[in-house]
Amino acid sequence: MKQVLDGNEAAATAAKLARVKVVSAYPITPQTTIVEKLAEFIADGELDAEYIKVESEHSALSACIGAAATGVRTFTATSSQGLMLMSEMLFVASGLRLPIVMANVNRSLSAPLSIWCFTKDAKVLMGDLTYKSISEVKEGDAVLGKDRNSNLRFTKVKRLFRRRTDNLVELKTDKFNLICTPDHRFYYHPTHEHWIQARSLKSKFLPWFGFGFNDGSDEFKRGWLAGVADGDGSFWWDKQGRHTFRINVKDEIIVDTFVKYCFNFGFDVRKVNYRKNEGLSTGIITLTKETTRLKKFLNFSRNADFCGGYLAGIYDAEGSGPSKVKQVVIYNSNPEILKKISDALALLGIKYKVYIDKRSMNYHTKVNNVPEFFIKCRPVLERKRNNLLKMTIKSVKSRLKIEDVVPIRENTEVYNLETDTNNYIVNGFLVHNCDQQDSMAVRDSGWVQLYCENNQEILDSTLQAFRVAEELLLPVMVCLDGYILSHTAEPIEIPDQAAVDKFLPVYKFPYPLDPEKPVTMGPLGVPEYYEEFRYMLQEAARTSKEKLVEVEKEFKKRFGRSYGLIERYRSDDAKVILLTMGSLSSSAKEVVDAHRKRGEKVGLVKVRSFRPFPNKELIEALGQAKAVAVLERDISLGSAGGLFLDVAASFINVKPAPLMLNFICGLAGRDVSPIQIKEAVQAARKAAETGKVKRAVRWLGLREEVLG
Amino acid sequence: MSLKPGAIITEPGSSARYETGSWRAFKPVIDANKCTACGICWLYCPEPAIIKGKPHAVDYRYCKGCGICANECPFKAITMVAEEHK
Amino acid sequence: MPYGGWGCARKYWVEDMKVEPTEEELVAPGHRACAGCGCILAMRHALKALGKDVIISMATGCMEVVTTPYPETSWRVPWIHVAFENTAAVASGIEAALKVLGKRHVKSVAIAGDGGTADIGLQALSGAIERGHNFLYICYDNEAYMNTGIQRSGATPYKAWTTTTPIGKVKRGEDRPKKDMPAIVAAHGAPYVATASVAYPLDFIKKVKKAAAIEGPTYIHVQAPCTPGWRIEDSKTIEVARLAVLTGSWVLYEIDQGKLNVTFKPPKRRPIGEYLKLQGRFRHLTDEDISEIQRAVDEQCKRFGLE
């Protein structure tokens, strides 16, 4: 049966199909939906299990250990910080040889979240495109941010932070001053995804969304009325010499707002419904005196608020986009109105172009810098406002110069927000709210680690994990990239329960805790025996490879899919091979395709099982290449990337061995763009040609000139 | 002895193989005439190293010579005597 | 004549329950506890009350270390040790598994020392009680981190010597009062909370049986002296524990569904000096110190309705 699920739902569904009996997990972004989904399954009776609502991740794994030792199938899930909190228990679980399965949603480790803050007069751009003081933002509010693919999107505020500090800097611009902590990161360069710390911002031109317009003012409202009237309304003198005004629109809310604003200004517009069956709402004024008065009232004025409102109004009425074309387009050929539009845009400093369609002689006014337009001329219609989400961060064309950065040493109250996308907009600048760095820290814990590339793989790997764990008596961790896989949905094939029951027999633990046959688990490990136990554990961990292959074979027979310990993508005759793990593999595969189209022999090997490390398989897959570029989203601080270290060690006594380069990328919440991957390929090709590697460990996308 | 995975111990109470009697410096001696078999010494012995009976007896395999029994016996039937060194 | 004599043990357990400690020893001898250890005695008594249908989860600590030196174990019931701070969480997992397996006659019992309960283990305990698991939690209280060498814990009494609250020129002993764990657990709304002492084994056994019989989170806090840690003679363990009760320093009570019931009222409350002078860890106390402690004990007794 096919269903559209995101990565988290896939993991939860797999646990349900495996008929786990005890679930004990603690919520943490971005794993929360796994826990919530399982709770739903249990609450609806779809999964017959005990759900322990533990009070921390450490307790979550502890409870799993207790339950698994007593003799039932268990499941838990966590991410980054939670994984670190339960790391003590990871080692105990493998030491006790308990077959626990865990889903780990890779979210890189944080520096403490609350380090980067603003003072309370910093204004945050909310989801409705108004600005609100950061101190007034509440949990659950929607703010504007960008996702990992640079698309603008609304993101929820997950947490608020407040503290006091005296280590601040003031950023001075010619429009406003902003006070924040010196290492707060601001978005700087659209094409290379660079975030720079506040202290290094002097004389830099930052992408700027726009700020400082009062759209609640009367002038703005007046401008809006004028815009709507010019767009969808009409003033005319009828045959009897009466001056009438009428406005016809599809969106009832425009008429309602029009009526409301007019009422505030002392005009009585009547809302009528006689074109309701055509789907139109209408507002009219029939009294001549009133109409004339209104027309005069809506005279064009050259001030910022009026112009902003005017453009908002005309966009609400007649504008369109961005949709497929990433621009705001206003279709209006009336030369008077065109002039007004142009004047307004010029006054507000928004770049625009007027196109003339020669055949129909229609004039289109097009604006590329949609975010700036929407913020300065905030549309009333929410559905039109949400068109902003079709834009990416690259559409922010305006720049604001930071004139000076001045340190401030007064003890002040400061605030920060944690959002889903880990960024938000303050005073028109895009800022980051936490550092992200993948963690390989628990690779020594004795757990089998599988890294998944897509949601189908997550579901299948989780099902396989139970079988592998229970036959090997080793716990298994199924890793999926947070935000990328956990939150994106794809159609997945879900096996039916009967088939899974045949694949996963009833849980059997050889020596469960049972009063009929009392055993002692977790005794004091005296030196006489400890080394032997660790050897036994290492043997189990090392030979889990064979078990994984065996289980996959059976899985393929029953369900038709298998993934292998590694995946070789167009690498058999490649001279340069990229080595990746997880969802990074998808982007890398596209780069490989691009190179292959040009006839270059480039390939990709994806590592799925990181523990046990597939050294034999990698030697076979990489041996004939001239150079291997290992790209990974982590670094073992003080050494090199974890994957690189293990691959390099595999080749230590082997000939022939390719030259190897390590590329640390995708840290600090950055996307790894195809350009960066191409850089890696180029470096590897150079090494292959010259036979030499100058620097084995490099970073992709690093701006060396801003390093402190 | 073959090691079980996870260092699991499947023989309950196997510590009985280790005779802690070798620890003591003083050993309790029960005076059969004074002992009324009330059970207080048996109740309070931490090992336990008292065998119930008429009179109660000391299980010298495990007795560590702490002296609680002698201190608690309401009839003063137990005396602590220096252990002879073997 | 030992103070109070054997009569105290029998005279005050009465009420309606017939509590005769069983002959069966579910904690085997041969364990590596110190001579005169009060805690292992508490284990022995507790298991007499519980019987064989239990699964014990224990914290790292004296009892875990002395009873399971690989490949030997003193336990004749299923037993698991995981870590120091998560005994209640492990017990929660065991309880969930037992529910799933339908083994209603088996009880999940968590045992930890005062360190693993009042300090590092408090979070797990709080969570487990709040979730309402059907388990019994026994805290054996020797009033310091004894396993690692007598460092203070939240349960170390006022003015006691420990290695981290030594007697020096400026600071003399523990300067904080003992954490009231039973009150904390009672505040969570646990259906049964009780204090006990190794010197009153029948009272302890009865309370354990009662607590184990209740379906829900129950808690027993048993004070058990430590001969090296309290600096007492090996043979004085029971005497010291009894004096703690007779001087009103340790009150034996139970909170049954929120109702307080003192299970043992000392006939004539002895001055606290009699309890303190037997212990080397209080040897440094001046008369002023002792009066201060006496005042605190008096106040405590007033709260419990003891003269």
Contacts of A58 in chain C (CB under 8 A): 85-86, 89, 124
Instruction: Name the minimum distance, in Å, from the CA of B29 to any CA of chain C.
Output: 14
Tell whether A135 and A190 lie within a shared domain.
yes
Instruction: Name the minimum distance, in Å, from the CA of A97 to any CA of chain B.
Output: 5
Residue A654 has pLDDT above 70, yes or no: yes
- The kind and range of the H/E element at C46 are helix C38-50
pLDDT tens digits for A29-71? Answer: 677 888 888 988 998 889 999 999 898 889 999 999 999 999 9
Higher pLDDT, C144 or A331: C144
pLDDT tens digits for A281-298? Answer: 888 888 888 888 888 888
Residue A110 has pLDDT above 60, yes or no: no
Contacts of C69 in chain A (CB under 8 A): 523-524, 526
Contact B6 A540 (CB under 8 A): no
Q: Residue A690's pLDDT is what?
A: 92
pLDDT tens digits for A568-586? Answer: 999 999 999 999 987 788 8
Q: Residue A437's pLDDT is what?
A: 37
Q: Which of A1-5, A425-429, A702-706, B48-52 has the lowest mean pLDDT?
A: A702-706
Q: Residue A484's pLDDT is what?
A: 62
Q: Hey, which chains touch C, using 3+ CB pairs under 8 Å?
A: A, B
Instruction: Name the minimum distance, in Å, from the CA of A550 to any CA of chain B.
Output: 22
Identify the CATH number of the domain in which residue A118 sits: 2.170.16.10
Closest CA to C77 of C24, C116, C39: C24
Q: Residue C13's pLDDT is what?
A: 33
Q: Are strands A576-581 and A142-146 parallel, antiparallel or unpaired?
A: unpaired
pLDDT tens digits for A424-460? Answer: 888 888 887 543 333 466 777 888 988 888 889 999 9
Between the two ends of chain B, the Cα-to-Cα distance in Å is: 32
Contacts of C68 in chain A (CB under 8 A): 520, 522-524
Contacts of C70 in chain B (CB under 8 A): 7, 9
Identify the CATH number of the domain in which residue A228 sits: 3.10.28.10
pTM of the predicted protein model: 0.66
Q: Is residue B11 part of a domain?
A: no
Tell whether A246 and A374 lie within a shared domain.
yes
Q: Is residue A437 part of a domain?
A: no
Contact A473 B6 (CB under 8 A): yes
Q: Residue C263's pLDDT is what?
A: 94
Quick one: average pLDDT of A477-490?
Answer: 75
Tell whether A61 and A139 lie within a shared domain.
no
Tell whether A294 and A423 lie within a shared domain.
no
- CB A129, CB A101: distance < 8 Å: no
Q: Residue A145's pLDDT is what?
A: 83
Which residue in B3, B5, B9 is closest to A520 by CB distance?
B9
Q: Which residue of B has its CA nearest to A99?
A: B6
Contact A519 B6 (CB under 8 A): no
Tell whether A184 and A241 lie within a shared domain.
no
Tell whether A599 and A626 lie within a shared domain.
yes
The pair of three-digit structure tokens given for residue C37, joined into one six-digit string = 């250890």
Q: Which of A696-700, C245-249, C296-300 has the lowest mean pLDDT?
A: A696-700
Q: Is residue B1 part of a domain?
A: no
Confidence of residue A342 (pLDDT cuts 50, 70, 90): confident
Q: Is residue A70 part of a domain?
A: yes
Higher pLDDT, A511 or A395: A511
Quick one: average pLDDT of A196-213?
Answer: 77
Higher pLDDT, A328 or B1: A328
Tell whether A590 and A541 lie within a shared domain.
no
pLDDT tens digits for A61-81? Answer: 999 999 999 999 999 998 877
Higher pLDDT, A105 or B31: B31
Average pLDDT taken over every residue of chain A: 84
Q: Hey, which chains touch B, using 3+ CB pairs under 8 Å?
A: A, C
Contact C53 A49 (CB under 8 A): no
Tell whether A46 and A155 lie within a shared domain.
no
Q: Residue C26's pLDDT is what?
A: 93
Q: Hey, which chains touch A, using 3+ CB pairs under 8 Å?
A: B, C
Quick one: average pLDDT of A395-409?
Answer: 83
Owning domain of residue B34: 20-82
Q: Residue A116's pLDDT is what?
A: 58
In one-letter notation, the amino acid at residue C274 is E
Whether C166 contacts chain B with CB within 8 A: no
Tell whether A9 and A105 lie within a shared domain.
yes
The pair of three-digit structure tokens given for residue A674, joined into one six-digit string = 């195809």
Q: Are strands C107-113 and C135-141 parallel, antiparallel or unpaired?
A: parallel
- CB A574, CB A588: distance < 8 Å: no
Quick one: average pLDDT of C204-222?
Answer: 93
pLDDT tens digits for A456-480? Answer: 999 999 999 999 999 989 999 998 8
Identify the CATH number of the domain in which residue B45 sits: 3.30.70.20
Contact C30 B48 (CB under 8 A): no
Q: Residue A255's pLDDT is what?
A: 85
Whether C10 contacts chain B with CB within 8 A: no
- CB C188, CB C132: distance < 8 Å: no
Sole residue written with tokens 């010019």: A230
CB atoms within 10 A of CB A149: 12
Residue A485 has pLDDT above 80, yes or no: no
Please state the domain count of chain A. 4
Q: Residue A138's pLDDT is what?
A: 84
Confidence of residue C10 (pLDDT cuts 50, 70, 90): very low
Q: Which residues of B touch C (CB under 8 A)?
A: 1, 7, 9, 11-20, 23-24, 38, 40, 43-49, 52, 59, 61-62, 64-68, 70-72, 74, 80
Contacts of B7 in chain A (CB under 8 A): 95-96, 521-523, 525, 529, 533
Q: Residue C125's pLDDT is what?
A: 96
Which residue in A63, A519, A524 is closest to C89 by CB distance?
A63
Q: Is residue B38 part of a domain?
A: yes
Whether B5 contacts chain A with CB within 8 A: yes
Tell whether A163 and A282 lie within a shared domain.
no
Q: How far apart are CA A75 and CA A50, in angstroms?
A: 11
Contacts of B2 in chain A (CB under 8 A): none
Q: Residue A230's pLDDT is what?
A: 84
Contact A70 C71 (CB under 8 A): no
Higher pLDDT, A639 or B28: B28
Q: Is residue A438 part of a domain?
A: no
Which residue in B5, B9, B10 is closest to A97 by CB distance?
B5
Higher pLDDT, A109 or A414: A414
Q: Is residue B50 part of a domain?
A: yes
Contact B13 C44 (CB under 8 A): no
- CB A396, CB A372: distance < 8 Å: yes
Task: Region of A175 please: left (phi>0), alpha (psi -120 to 50) or beta.
Answer: alpha
Residue A588 has pLDDT above 80, yes or no: yes
Q: E strands along C82-182, which residues?
A: 107-113, 135-141
Structure ipTM = 0.92
Which residue in B9, B52, B59 is closest to C70 by CB distance?
B9
Q: CB pairs below 8 Å between B and C: how many?
A: 113
Interface test with A, best of C53, C58, C80 (most A CBs within 10 A): C80
Confidence of residue C5 (pLDDT cuts 50, 70, 90): very low
Q: Residue C52's pLDDT is what?
A: 93
Q: How far apart are CA A501 and CA A511, in angstroms?
A: 23
Contacts of C28 in chain B (CB under 8 A): 12-16
Contacts of B5 in chain A (CB under 8 A): 97, 473, 536-537, 540
Q: Using alpha carbons only, what angle is made at residue B32 by residues B31 and B35, rounded to the nearest 5 degrees?
A: 85
Q: Which of A291-300, A587-596, C38-47, C145-154 has the lowest mean pLDDT?
A: A291-300
Q: How many CA atoms lie within 13 A of A448 on its CB side?
A: 36
Which three-class secondary structure state does DSSP give residue C220?
strand
Please state the domain count of chain B. 1
Q: Most distant CA pair in chain A: distance in Å?
A: 111
Q: Which residue of C has its CA nearest to A64?
A: C93
Higher pLDDT, A498 or A451: A498
Which residue in B9, B19, B49 is closest to C71 by CB distance?
B9
Owning domain of residue A42: 2-109+443-559
Confidence of residue A198 (pLDDT cuts 50, 70, 90): confident
Contact C78 A513 (CB under 8 A): yes
Contact C96 A521 (CB under 8 A): no
Q: How far apart are CA A85 and CA A27, in angstroms?
A: 13
Q: Which residue of A has its CA nearest to B15?
A: A520
Contacts of B72 in chain C (CB under 8 A): 2, 6, 238-239
Residue C200 has pLDDT above 50, yes or no: yes
Q: Residue A433's pLDDT is what?
A: 59
Instruction: Name the minimum distance, in Å, from the CA of C265 to any CA of chain B.
Output: 21
Quick one: average pLDDT of B38-60?
Answer: 93
- The kind and range of the H/E element at C127 are helix C122-131
Average pLDDT taken over every residue of chain C: 90
Tell me which residues of chain B, numbers 12 to 71, contact chain A at a CB-CB cutoff of 8 Å. 12
Q: Residue A325's pLDDT is what?
A: 77
Q: How far apart are CA A526 and CA A250, in angstroms?
A: 80
Contact B9 A523 (CB under 8 A): yes
Burial readout C140-152 (b: 16 or more C-beta within 10 A, e: otherwise): bbbbbbbbeebbb
- CB A210, CB A371: distance < 8 Å: yes
Instruction: Name the minimum distance, in Å, from the CA of B47 to any CA of chain A.
Output: 19
Q: Give the CATH class of C5-304.
A: alpha beta
Confidence of residue A158 (pLDDT cuts 50, 70, 90): confident
The partner residues of A155 in beta bridges, in order of sequence, read A143
Residue A115 has pLDDT above 60, yes or no: no
CB atoms within 10 A of CB A33: 21
Contact C73 B67 (CB under 8 A): no
Residue A669 has pLDDT above 60, yes or no: no
Q: Residue A486's pLDDT is what?
A: 67
The partner residues of A392 in beta bridges, in order of sequence, read A151
Contact B9 A529 (CB under 8 A): no
Q: Which residue of A has its CA nearest to B4?
A: A533
Quick one: average pLDDT of A655-677?
Answer: 81
CA distances to A40, A104, A244, A374 from A209, in Å: 41, 36, 40, 9
Tell whether A125 and A90 lie within a shared domain.
no
Whether C236 contacts chain B with CB within 8 A: yes
Residue C12 has pLDDT above 70, yes or no: no
Whether B1 contacts chain A with CB within 8 A: no
Q: How far apart are CA A116 and CA C219, in angstroms?
A: 44
Higher pLDDT, A271 or B63: B63
Phi and psi of C181, rounded to 5°? -60, -45
Interface test with C, best of A74, A520, A533, A536 (most C CBs within 10 A): A520
